[in-house]
Amino acid sequence: MRPLPELTLATAWFWTSGSDGRLRVQRCTECATFVHPPVPICPACRSRAWEPTAVSGRGTIVGYTVNHHRWHPAFEPPYAIAVVALAEDPGVRLTTMIVGVDPTEVSIGQEVVVRFEHHDDVWLPLFEPTGELSAVDPVAEPERLLPRRPLDDGRFEHRSVLSGVGRSALGRRLMVDPLSLTVDACLEAVADAGLELEDIDGLSTYPGPAGMGMSEGGITTVEEALRLHPTWINGGGDLPGPGGSVVAAMLAVASGLCRHVLCFRTVWESSFAALGLAGPGGPRASGLSAWRAPFGAISAANWIAMNANQYLHRYGAPREMLGLIALNGRANAARNPAAIYRDPMTMDDYLSARPITSPFGLYDCDVPCDGSIAVVVSDAATADDRPHPAIRIEAVGTQILERVSWDQGTITHEPQVLGQAAHLWSRTSLRPADVDLALLYDGFTFNAISWLEALGFCGFGEAHDWLDHGRRIALDGELPVNPHGGQLSEGRTHGFGFLYEAVQQLRHDAGERQVAGAGTAVVTSGGGVPSSVLLLQRHHS
């Protein structure tokens, strides 16, 4: 059965609008701004007065993907998903399915018109190409965003250090209780920091209790196991990405509430799937998912792929650009005993892999795995008592400057990286040229490209040339990227693997994959959803 959107008090009018064949969008009756998805206040003039307003139902495809993977039994691949910018206001977009055409013929710039499909109490707005191409590009060029500037030179970041890291076994289908993995990582991190469990007075995690093999159960589950009596706890998905749990811990330390906060992140997606626990979910899609799942846009792979195609179209970059990220990760993973995929990979291997959702094939997508990673955030005043060189946090970037609805804002890059990257550089006098290595979130290859450009290592649209056939990001290149292999080859530890590797590298403990003289590392986590970026240093500058 097709996942249909939940009809809520806020959205029922939208999903039933097609009963008379008309598409309607929320419009402010004070300033005439179109607003989508519906919210109870105009973001332009803050008026509370609005009404559903009929529009022409015409629009232009600004992002698309041809999905080849069966995510849900109701959707038979291949099929085309797209982001359509409406004719009345190209800032209003709908994620939708493109029908009435062979999926392989869908492309950026095609004009489309709505065609409703009726299911139960819902009229889904699908779109069909008119055969015309849009005369104008409805997508604006990306720009460097302007972050909020700090009030003074004081930085809470400098009051904390990363004092310890730990990691459980990492692998596919480990069939180990995820809480046990968490305890393994936590015990190792505390010992690595030269501490006893009794020294820990804070706990922080992301995303807290979550299903789908994405969590051991969160703070209460871990506290029940460890009995640490913390003075402060934090866990949830409404954080600036997985790294947001570390930023929150830094705030607790800087405020004096905690001295040593244990941060952890556990995934067991591989065993979860092997146990047959993964499934299509409930009959109705809710929240932001309601705007995507009914059209077959089930996975983050689909959502990011639509932006990746906009990028490739806009800048004329080839798929091989994405392949260079995958090949770099795989080449580095050969030197990482913990990595899941260590066999060499060629560009031919990359290009001929099973298609997932265009332009992504199998090797554009990271590896679901089981594993837990823990990091201890300590008061900088205790740094000299620790057995390893403390890793200093120079700055963080956390500001949301883009629309959080994935399809409404940034579409030339992965959303939620441009703002956070700009915010980072507003909190430090260091510049991209000062960075010795980059740990770039690579849940999909395109995410790493997005972070590279957002952080200013190269200009927008310049990554393919800048990569220089991959030489620039190789272990001996100008900016080594993901020396551990990234999530593409090491495994999807969901952000914390980058932190773990950064600490190893900045301690100069990374063995045969050590980046020579590594002193400053940038570490990103997340994107798509609100994210964060940290600038770490081996020594005080």
- In the complex, the residues that contact Zn ion under the rule CB under 5 A are 28, 30-31, 33, 42, 44-45, 47
Q: Output 47 or 429, the one with its CB closest to Zn ion.
A: 47
Collapsing DSSP states into helix, strand and coil, what is residue 331? helix
Of the pair 31, 275, the CB lying nearest Zn ion is at 31
CA dihedral 7, 9, 11, 16 (to 10 degrees): 60
Q: Which residue, 39 or 404, has its beta carbon nearer to Zn ion? A: 39
CA nearest neighbour of 88 among 114, 54, 42, 123: 54
Smallest gap from Cβ 92 to Zn ion, in A, equals: 14
28 or 87: CB nearest Zn ion? 28
Rounded least distance, CB 29 to Zn ion, Å:
8
Nearer to Zn ion, 30 or 379 (CB): 30
**Nearest distance, CB of residue 33 and Zn ion, angstroms:** 5
- Side chain identity at residue 27, one-letter code: R
Min CB(32)–Zn ion separation in Å: 7
**Tokens, residue 209:** 């209790």
Report the C-alpha gap between 154 and 158 in whole angstroms.
Answer: 8
Tokens standing for 75? 């959707």
Whether the CB-CB separation of 164 and 382 falls below 8 Å is answered with: no
Buried b or exposed e, range 57-74, using 16+ CB within 10 angstroms: bbbbbbbbbbbbbebbee
Q: Which is nearer to Zn ion, 32 or 140 (CB)?
A: 32
CB-wise, 33 or 266, nearer to Zn ion?
33
H/E segment holding residue 149: none
Measured distance CA(67)–CA(79) in Å, rounded: 5
Phi, psi of 144 (to 5 degrees): -70, 120
- Give the shortest CB-40-to-Zn ion separation in angstroms: 12
**CA–CA distance, 32 with 51 (Å, rounded to integer):** 10
Q: Enumerate residues 6+ apart whose C-beta is below 8 A from 279.
A: none
Residues present in the chain in total: 541
Q: Which is nearer to Zn ion, 42 or 325 (CB)?
A: 42
Quick one: angle between helices 319-333 and 300-315, nearest 10? Answer: 120
Q: Which residues contact 425 (CB under 8 A, 6 or more apart)?
A: 395, 397, 431, 432, 455, 456
- Closest distance of CB 31 from Zn ion, Å: 3
Closer by beta carbon to Zn ion, 33 or else 270: 33
Report the nearest approach of Zn ion to the CB of residue 514 (Å). Answer: 56
Residue 363 and residue 353 in contact, taking contact as beta carbons nearer than 8 Å: yes
Provide the minimum distance between the beta carbon of 49 and Zn ion in the complex, in angstroms, as a whole number. 8
For Zn ion, the closer CB: 42 or 340: 42
Q: Taking the complex as a whole, how short is the minimal distance between the CB of residue 57 and Zn ion, in angstroms?
A: 23
Q: Which two tokens stand for residue 411?
A: 């579409």
In one-letter notation, the amino acid at residue 251 is L
Give the whole-angstrom CA distance, residue 467 versus residue 453: 11
Give the Cα separation of 244 and 190 in Å (integer).
20
Nearer to Zn ion, 6 or 30 (CB): 30
Q: How many CA atoms lie within 13 A of 53 on its CB side?
A: 18
At 311, the amino acid letter reads Y
Beta carbon of residue 288, minimum distance to Zn ion (angstroms, whole number): 22
Nearest CB to Zn ion, comparing residues 29 and 429: 29
For the CB of residue 52, give the shortest distance to Zn ion in the complex, in Å.
15
Residue of 243, 240, 265, 263 lying closest to 253 (CA atoms): 263
177 CB-near residues (< 8 Å, 6+ apart): none
Please, which residue, 42 or 338, has the CB nearer to Zn ion?
42
Q: CB-wise, 33 or 537, nearer to Zn ion?
A: 33
For residue 120, what is the DSSP state? T
Cβ–Cβ < 8 Å for 386, 194: yes
For tokens 């992965």, the residue is 414
Residues facing residue 396 across a β-bridge: 534
* Helix and strand totals (H; E) in the chain: 13, 21
Strands 110-119 and 122-133: antiparallel
